[in-house]
Amino acid sequence: MLLLDIGNTNLRWTTQAAGRLGEVRILRHGGGMTLDLLAAWEALGAPSRILVSNVGGAAVAESLRRVTRAYWGLDPEFVSTRADFGGVRIAYAEPARFGVDRWLTLIAAHAPALDDAGTAPRQPTLILDAGTAATFDLLLADGRHLGGLILPGIEMMRNSLLAGTQIPRIESEPVGDPWAQDTGTAVAAGSVQAIAALARRLLDRLTEQAGATPRLLLTGGDAQRLRSALDRPFQEIPDLVLRGLLQVAERIPLSG
């Protein structure tokens, strides 16, 4: 199978065989299929199935559909959020309003296969997906989704402030103390620390709600920029959405 995670900015893709994911490739999609992606797929054998998580919009979806039909005569299957699936029950009353990428991270987090042995007891979990937006979702050990929060991502947070001020842009990332000694770096540090501080607060509230210590799963394109700011143990899983897609593929047979 060919599995794709199309975000607002980046596209991640991999192949699956014998229940395992292959190497994950990442690129910026720009609303369409890039030349680098097309070149890589020219050398790819025809997949039996193409599953897609898409929050990147209709244009990139249509571009993907044209390419897969031309290359392999296959239509991609665009996964959509379900209220109750794989033991996960989402909090939203209208499942269509809950992003499919967020849903797939919940499915992956609740799957026993996330653990090395596949047998560890499930835990309450906070998922932090740091991308164009930073999303937080809280999941109890029994699969009940409590809900979540959404913030602007690191770059969006910085850009929104810089656009309305005369503060100069600082491209380097903050290091060391969580505070800064000049204004530009203070903006850079503030965007990181705001997300990390919210993660800490939500972990504390989830501990109270669940009566157990939750784990923190970190994913998304900006995950590495948050590592030093997080002061709680965390597990970084870059391909969490793709793992969720694999779980969906194993539970939903090929249509037709």
Domains, the chain, with CATH or none: 2-78 (3.30.420.40), 98-244 (3.30.420.40)
Cα–Cα distance, 105 to 136 (Å, whole number) = 10
The answer to whether 102 is annotated as binding is yes
159 is in an annotated binding site: no
Find out whether 99 is annotated in a ligand binding site: yes
Residue 119 has pLDDT above 60, yes or no: no
Strand partners, 50: 2
Q: Is 92 annotated as a binding residue?
A: yes
What's the rounded Cα separation, in Å, for the pair 163 and 191? Answer: 15
Q: What is the pLDDT of residue 256?
A: 42
34-44, pLDDT tens digit by residue?
888 998 899 89
Is 7 labelled a binding residue? yes
11 is in an annotated binding site: yes
Give the per-residue pLDDT at 43: 87
Q: What is the pLDDT of residues 236-256, one digit of tens each?
A: 999 999 999 999 998 887 654
| Options 36, 75, 101, 177, the catalytic residue | 101
| Tokens (6 digits) for 168 | 């100069």
Neighbour count for residue 73 (Cβ, 10 Å): 8
- Average the pLDDT over 143-168 and give the result: 93
The per-residue pLDDT for 120 is: 60
Q: Indicate if the pLDDT at residue 159 is higher than 70.
A: yes
Q: Give the pLDDT of residue 237.
A: 96
Q: Could you say which DSSP state residue 148 is in?
A: E
The verdict on whether 231 is a catalytic residue reads no
Which residues are CB-neighbours of 130 under 8 A, at least 6 positions away? 153, 154, 195, 218, 219, 220, 221, 222, 223, 225, 226
**Range 216-244 average pLDDT:** 95
Q: Averaged over 171-191, what is the pLDDT?
A: 82
Q: Are 229 and 130 in contact (CB under 8 A)?
A: no
Average pLDDT, the chain: 91
Average pLDDT in the 108-126 region? Answer: 76
Maximum CA extent, the chain: 62
How high is the pLDDT of residue 181? 84
How much of the chain exceeds pLDDT 90, in percent?
A: 73
Check the annotation: does 142 bind a ligand. no
Give pTM, 2 decimals. Answer: 0.92
Q: Tens digits of per-residue pLDDT, 48-104? A: 999 999 999 999 999 999 999 999 999 999 999 999 999 999 999 999 999 999 999
pLDDT of residue 255: 58
